[in-house]
Structure 1
Amino acid sequence: MMSAYLMRSGLNPSRLGAGSTFSKCFSTTLRISAASSFFKNSQASVSLTRYTELRTITTGNIKSVVGQRAEPASNPEGKVSARIQKTNLLNDEWMLEVQWEDGFRSKYPYIWLRDNCQCPSCFHPTSCSRRVLIGDLDVSIVPVSFSASKDSGDLEIFWSDGHKGLYTSLWLRERSFSEDTRESRRQMRSPLRTLWGSDILSDLPMANFHEVLREDQALLEFIRKLEDLGLVIVRDAPIHQEAIFSLTNRLGYIKQTHYGVSFAVKNRVTPNNLAYTADSLDMHSDIPYYEYKPGIQLLHCISQAKCTGGSNNLVDSFSVAQQLRELDPEKFQILSAVPVDFIDYGVEEDGLNFYALSQHPIIRVDERGDIQSVTLNQMVRDSFFNVSVEKVRLWYEAMLTYSNMLCHPNNVISYKMKEGDIIVLDNRRVLHGREGFRMIEGTRELHGCYWDWDMVKSCRRVLQRKLGILKT
């Protein structure tokens, strides 16, 4: 299996010495049958056959899956029509069927239609909120009669509870229960991602600080890149601590942690975080000891000293997790099933005492098996391990395999920040580390803060509406 994987990745196993990191990584890839019995009933169990390549990019000789869904959505509707041609009551199915002018057919459950009546009595027009109480609904509700306007195609339904429901044809068509509609809505929430490897270094996603602050299109492109790749380097920011506040104000608000509204990464005499030293930092995500860790991290280079080392290492953990899933599904399953404790306690410079503790699997997947987040931080992983003793060794074997893959040259990039650079990264996806450094002259200082994805995605949809890209 190892040799086949290496050859598929463009690597020659005979050229990897027995002592190499990658060789060590895969020499410990054991097929332990016990793992499947420990985890076969886990909710994290996924089927590899559900994953297809929607599109691919070459990442240092490794092809990366882009998007994670069963099949690419077809578009059987073609040019979408919002004019109703014919309606039928399907009382045996408790549904209304609509045939559209373009030939497409949609079905709408009666209870859903009554729940979502758009008349002012049922739906508040300015707060855009449903007024109908859930307890007032009746799953046995049926239409008494209905009519469609010849001019607008809008639908009126007279319900068995005495209410007259109003529905525009465009509103109905946009809310079809088709797979295409559901997939479109999923992408509105979270667009498909492009997975990457070391080849991204030749074409790093960039944005200009002043353009993002000044132009809506530039801000939208910045957000799209961040959602797609999980990484954007904003160039030419002013070299002072107000810069990340100015950038934040363009989108919304900072997510505050016990390290404050923002934080300075520089050497401290008595550091309460390893980042405040000159030591090397392992690949990690930030604030893993929060139940809801910050979605996005910003690091602004205020001062870059003359020093040896000090480069930032970055890796797309989703891309590597997908490689692990294909290489060894059992190890992927272990890392997505076993909960891991993360902890942080101490005293901040302002005197705040903190004790943060939370638990996450290393790889979190959703109900479809799509990777949603990677939470990894060796520095603050707790020594308490909330699993049975039999699973501990299996977890370490899986973790070491994944860790070595994260550090493989085909996957990781190294970037030494210039003064005025702001690295913006998806804290759920892009792990970052640092080479240890030795000061020769000057000071090294980064200024950082966090954002939440909900805020950034909201800003993206507002911009899409403003620019006429998003209609609903």
Structure 2
Amino acid sequence: MMSAYLMRSGLNPSRQFSAAASTFFKCSKATLQKSAASTSFSKNSQASVSLSRFPGLRTITTGNNTGIVGQRAEPASNPEGIVSACFQRISLLGDEWMLEARWKDGFRSKYPYIWLRDNCQCPSCFCPSSASRRVLLRDLDPSIVPVSFTTSEDSGDLEILWSDGHRGLYMSDWLRERSFSEDTRERRRLIRSPPRTLWGSDILSDLPVANFHDVLREDEALLELIQKLEALGLVIVQDTPLQQEAIFTLTNRLGYIKQTHYGVTFVVKSRVSPNNLAYTADSLDMHSDIPYFEYKPGIQLLHCISQAKGTGGSNNLVDSFNVARQLQELDLEKFQILTTVPVDFIDHGVEEDGLNFYALAKHPLIRLDKNGEVQAVTLNQMVRDSFFPVSVEKVRPWYEAMVTYYRMLLHPNNVISYKMKEGYILVFDNQRVLHGREGYLVTEGTRELHGCYWDWDMVRSCRRVLQRKLGILKT
């Protein structure tokens, strides 16, 4: 094995999948001051907001990808998505403990007093270099109210004198970007995690690809790889050198490897005494890796260094989220069983370096988020424990639901079979894309894959860094 953890290298970016890039331009306005009553004033700036997604993808099936910043108090025609960061009127709503801002484009937004005090942007309350609050929780008073406020003639920024004696500072564009409207919340959700595109066997005719050398050289190519991976859960990196170091080189472009008890990286080839069925020539059921971890790796990489001549050895891949949706529509009761019944997964043994391991975790086969969307599928027949932590009456219904789902996974409309070529890296979402393998018989040469894992937190962080660097993401 190579040395343990990779050091992060410089990140670069790309364009596309803007998920809400809003650019605000400063404007000037008259200075106003008023006591704790309503006041109004004008500005004269505008801000353009764009929301785009990666071109060429098919139907988006989860999430809303058409939101524009803000929710208007009254309907208005605004096809260009133009918004204004200029105040028209500010009111203090004492009964609601909120400040209301009316903007020149007709948008209205309310801000709770306590939230404004907590998020003061002055140097004594906020450290811009670390993007951290300096305000101590012990000093926050939920009953705080504004005493007076002013706006800057040059920038239009808002200053509030609070009842605790502090003078709070708030930039107008900063406030506009953080309105509490549904559209703003949706825009932020897309920055965290863009929508997915579900797929079936038709993806085989147009597999998402990237070039190894382009990804290393060009920020746009790296961002495109991440966007495809987020949307489709699958990318094939071509033209990769046939050395184990290549997977480190690619990883170093984004961040670091997630290590498991199988090492920093692992080599998939037949062994005399395998501690994992992947290290045999056997067929492997459709599965996700490392299900016996509480937080299993989000992304798996398999780099084909040598592909033996012989029969078999193709990888099978399926979008388990797409099939879960099909099951939900076909048989809601079976779907609910798989989302609620917990399953134990286990792995214990000894690694080649002498490390003893005993991993154990519990997951439902299909995990949903708070909105009822599929968040992860955890299926691995090989390491599903014989201990089943449910009442005896739930066992047979679970098996019936699981077998139904598994047969749907293998339907020709859902699964693809792909035999990797030398110099290709298969990168896929380990929470979503299940993979298997046909058994193989070697007639000449050896079959060797070099693998590792990434975490989604790291990859999405890299995507946002790239988007900021390219000017796509402003917040």
TM-score by length of 2: 0.85
1:365-380 equivalent positions in 2, closer than 5 A: 365-380=368-383
**Pair 1:122-2:95 in alignment:** no
> Which secondary structure does the structure 1 equivalent of 2:407 belong to?
helix
The alpha-carbon distance between structure 1 residues 420 and 70, as it changes in their structure 2 partners (threshold 3 A), is: closer
Q: Which residue of 1 aligns with 2:461?
A: 458
The answer to whether residue 200 in structure 2 is matched with residue 197 in structure 1 is yes
Kept after mapping to 1: 8 A contact 2:291/2:345:
yes
| 1:136 partner letter | D
Q: Is the 8 A contact 2:64 2:195 kept in 1?
A: no
Residues 275-286 of structure 1: pairs in structure 2 closer than 5 A: 275-286=278-289
Aligned to 1:92, the other structure's residue is in SS state: helix
Question: Match of 2:168, as an amino acid?
Answer: G
2:292 is paired with a residue whose SS is coil
Distance in 1 (alpha carbons) for counterparts of 2:145 and 2:308: 73
Indicate conservation of the 8 Å contact 1:84/1:98, yes or no.
yes
Structure with the higher helix share, 1 or 2: 1
Asked whether 1:153 is paired with 2:156, we answer: yes
Which residue of structure 2 lines up, in the alignment, with residue 237 of structure 1?
240
Provide the rounded CA distance (Å) in 2 between the counterparts of 1:107 and 1:329.
Answer: 41
Q: In structure 2, what residue type is equivalent to 1:229?
A: L
Cα distance between partner residues in 2 of 1:183 and 1:467: 22
For structure 1, the residue ranges without an aligned partner over 5 or more in a row are 1-54
Name the residue aligned to 1:212.
215
8 Å Cα contact 1:65/1:319 also seen in 2:
no
Q: State yes or no: 1:163 paired with 2:169.
A: no
Shift of the 448–201 alpha-carbon distance from structure 1 to 2, 3 Å rule, reads same
Q: Distance in 2 between matches of 1:352 and 1:127?
A: 39
> C-alpha displacement at 1:160, in angstroms?
1.0
Structure 1 position 70, deviation (Å):
7.6
Partner residue in 2 for 1:224 = 227
Please tell me whether residue 443 in structure 1 is matched to residue 446 in structure 2. yes
Identity %: 78
Aligned pairs (5 A) from 1:24-423: 66-69=60-63, 73=67, 78-423=81-426
Hey, what's the Cα distance between the residues in 1 that align with 2:213 and 2:68? 40
8 Å CA contact 1:316, 1:431 repeated in 2: yes
| Residue of structure 2 in register with 1:43 after alignment | none
Counterpart residue identity of residue 332, structure 2: P
Distance in 2 between residues matched to 1:330 and 1:182, nearest whole Å: 32
SS of 2:451's equivalent in the other structure is: strand
Aligned partners of 1:65 and 1:322 also within 8 Å = no
CA contact (8 A) 1:339 1:362 kept: yes
Q: Is the 8 A contact 1:284 1:378 kept in 2?
A: yes
* Counterpart position of 2:25: none
CA distance in 2, matches of 1:335, 1:94: 45
In the alignment, the residues of structure 2 paired with residue 391 and residue 84 of structure 1 have an alpha-carbon distance, to the nearest angstrom, of: 60
TM-aligned CA deviation for residue 394 of structure 1: 1.2
Q: What displacement does 1:81 show? A: 1.1
Q: Is the 8 A contact 1:145 1:157 kept in 2?
A: yes
How far residue 343 of structure 1 moved from its aligned partner, in angstroms, is 0.3
Distance, in Å, in 1 between the alignment partners of 2:61 and 2:151 is: 40
Residue 23 of structure 2: aligned partner: none
Distance 2:61 2:190 in 1: 10
Q: Specify whether residues 455 and 117 from structure 1 end up closer, same or farther in structure 2 by C-alpha distance, changes over 3 A only.
A: same
- Tell me how far apart the structure 1 counterparts of residues 200 and 68 of structure 2 sit (CA, whole Å): 29
Contact map agreement 2:100 2:108 (CA 8 A) in 1: yes
The amino acid that maps onto 1:437 is Y
Q: Could you tell me whether the CA contact under 8 Å between 2:63 and 2:195 is conserved in 1?
A: no
Q: Which runs of 5 or more residues in structure 2 are unaligned? A: 1-52, 73-80
Conservation of the 8 A alpha-carbon contact between 1:289 and 1:342: yes
Structure 2: how far apart are the matches of 1:336 and 1:455?
A: 27
Secondary structure, aligned partner of 2:385: coil
Deviates more, 1:269-278 or 1:122-131: 122-131
Q: Tell me how far apart the structure 1 counterparts of residues 393 and 413 of structure 2 sit (CA, whole Å).
A: 33
Per-residue displacement from partner, 1:34-64 (whole Å, max 9, x unpaired)? Answer: xxxxxxxxxxxxxxxxxxxxx9xxx9xxxx9
Shift of residue 126 of structure 1? 1.4
2:77 maps to none
- Aligned 8 A contact 1:306 1:439 in 2: yes
Alpha-carbon distance, 1:147 to partner: 1.8
Deviations, residues 288-333 of structure 1 (Å, cap 9, x unaligned)? 0001111100000011000101000000011111111111122111
Could you tell me how far 1:439 is from its partner in structure 2? 1.1
Mapped partners of 1:111, 1:68: distance in 2: 34
Q: Is the 8 A contact 1:198 1:410 kept in 2?
A: yes
Instruction: Tell me how far 1:67 sits from its aligned partner.
Output: 3.6
Deviation at 1:71? 9.4
Matched residue, 1:34: none
Q: Secondary structure at the residue paired with 1:180?
A: helix
8 Å Cα contact 1:174-1:181 kept in structure 2: yes
How far has the Cα of 1:146 moved from its partner? 1.3
Asked whether the equivalents of residues 321 and 432 of structure 2 are also in contact (C-alpha less than 8 Å), the reply is yes
CA contact (8 A) 1:198 1:412 kept: yes
Which residue number in structure 1 is paired with residue 22 of structure 2?
none
CA deviation string 1:336-362 (max 9, x = no partner): 111111000000011110000001111
The 1:204/1:463 distance shift into structure 2, 3 A limit, reads: same
Deviations 1:89-111 (A, max 9, x none): 11111111000111100011111
What is the RMSD computed on CA atoms of the aligned residues?
1.8
SS at match of 2:274: coil
How many residue pairs align between the two structures?
413
